[in-house]
Amino acid sequence: MLVLLSPASLASGWVKHETEHALQLAARSRRSNVVPVIIAPFAAELLSPQLANIQWFDLTTGPFEARVEELIRSLKTREME
């Protein structure tokens, strides 16, 4: 599951609910199936401790198209459910 992180998504109750559910499934399966992706800058304190401890991918640094291509390459190498 890609979790797109922005001020709006971090303020959304629905996104929080879906993310918590995905993190619970990941913990049970012991697989890394949650990938936080920063799509807009936000205050660090808005990020939940659970997401803060997962390796995230930042689309806001560097050329957007190049960062998306790097994200896709990274996703292809992950073992996910």
Token output for 55:
């390796």
Q: What is the mean pLDDT of residues 6-30?
A: 92
Tell me how many domains the chain contains.
1
Give the range of the structural domain holding residue 73, as residue numbers without chain letter: 2-77
Quick one: pLDDT band at residue 73, thresholds 50, 70, 90? very high
Work out the widest C-alpha separation in the chain, in whole angstroms: 36
Q: What is the mean pLDDT of residues 53-72?
A: 93
pTM, entire model: 0.85
Q: How far apart are CA 41 and CA 26, in angstroms?
A: 26
Q: How far apart are CA 79 and CA 67, in angstroms?
A: 20
